[in-house]
Amino acid sequence: MRDRVVVITGASSGIGAALAVLVGEKGARPVLVARRERELNEVAARSGPHALALVADVTRRADVERVVAVTIARAGHIDVWINNAGRGITRSVAELTDDDFDEMMRVNVKSALYGMQAVLPHFKTRRRGHLINVSSVLGRVPIAPVRSAYSAAKHALNSLTANLRMDLRAAFPDIHVTTVLPGVVATDFGVKALGGGPDSRALPGAQPVEEVAEVIARVIEEPRADVYTRPVYRELVARYFGAEDLGAVEGQPPFVQAPVSPKPPAT
């Protein structure tokens, strides 16, 4: 990890901020990317003496290309690129508008595509590098239908990630491509979702953001193709896709919540 140049999008809060601080503590040179300058600089101040904050909107291809160019100019190269920026939604499929769907694809898929395409030429020239896309368990299993278009976007991101990995496999074996799949994480993701929503930090079993950052840091040091931030998520996905009838699994917890027993009448 020491001296590796690690670019992290969505680094002004949540997973990205925790990861920037952690890799900085491990001796890496984090490059923090987000739109909010004040928050970004505050995180950078806690991310080690070599942290670099770059204000950019990763839904704009030109901004992403600028981040690549500035990072290489200042740090000399890029070792790891982490597409972490994202946003949720709180709307069922029946309620989605065109703008809702476009926003989910723009923030969760196109921003990552821009990052992949911008950094790949540099990785290919060096014949090494590590690209990490932070996805979601919702990109594998429909355990939160209200996240509809977010789930669809993460499915798309998973597919792009796997296809890129296969594209590079033969000619560039030292360019690693990883999907990281968290579940519910204790951040402000829920309240900042399009359409609002419950605070993820208050949900039962929400994973501390530091745990997720540790998982990503480990995969930087020991690259793997596909990583769940908790073993239970892998087991859930295997159970779902291993079933003969997906509908039968979808009728069981955690896909549906167990009914709450009514309180006995007061006596």
Domain range list for the chain = 5-250
User: What percent of the chain stands above pLDDT 70?
Assistant: 96
Residue 180, phi then psi, degrees to nearest 5? -110, 130
> What's the confidence (pLDDT) of residue 198?
82
User: What percent of the chain stands above pLDDT 90?
Assistant: 90
Mean pLDDT over 46-52 rounds to 96
Residues 6+ apart with CB under 8 A from 111: 9, 58, 59, 64, 83, 85, 86
> What's the confidence (pLDDT) of residue 199?
84
Neighbours of 195 (CB within 10 A): 11
Q: In what order do the strands lie in the sheet with 29-34?
A: 52-55, 29-34, 5-9, 80-83, 129-134, 175-181, 226-228
Q: Which residue has the higher pLDDT, 160 or 198?
A: 160
> What's the confidence (pLDDT) of residue 203?
86
Picking from 59, 51, 71, 61, the residue whose alpha carbon sits closest to that of residue 34 is 59
> What's the confidence (pLDDT) of residue 37?
96
Look over the chain and give the mean of its residue pLDDT values, rounded to a whole number.
94
> What's the confidence (pLDDT) of residue 260?
40
> What's the confidence (pLDDT) of residue 1?
86
On the question of pLDDT at 263 being above 50, the answer is no
On the question of pLDDT at 266 being above 90, the answer is no
Architecture of domain 5-250: 3-Layer(aba) Sandwich (3.40)
On the question of pLDDT at 131 being above 80, the answer is yes
Q: Cβ(254)–Cβ(232) under 8 Å?
A: no
Neighbours of 62 (CB within 10 A): 11
Any catalytic annotation for residue 150?
yes
Residue 110, phi then psi, degrees to nearest 5? -65, -35
> What's the confidence (pLDDT) of residue 202?
83
On the question of pLDDT at 261 being above 50, the answer is no
Q: Which residue has the higher pLDDT, 203 or 146?
A: 146
**Active-site residue (options: 150, 228, 233, 240):** 150
Q: Cβ(121)–Cβ(70) under 8 Å?
A: no
**pTM for the structure as a whole:** 0.93
On the question of pLDDT at 259 being above 70, the answer is no
Task: Report residue 52 as tokens.
Answer: 């670099």
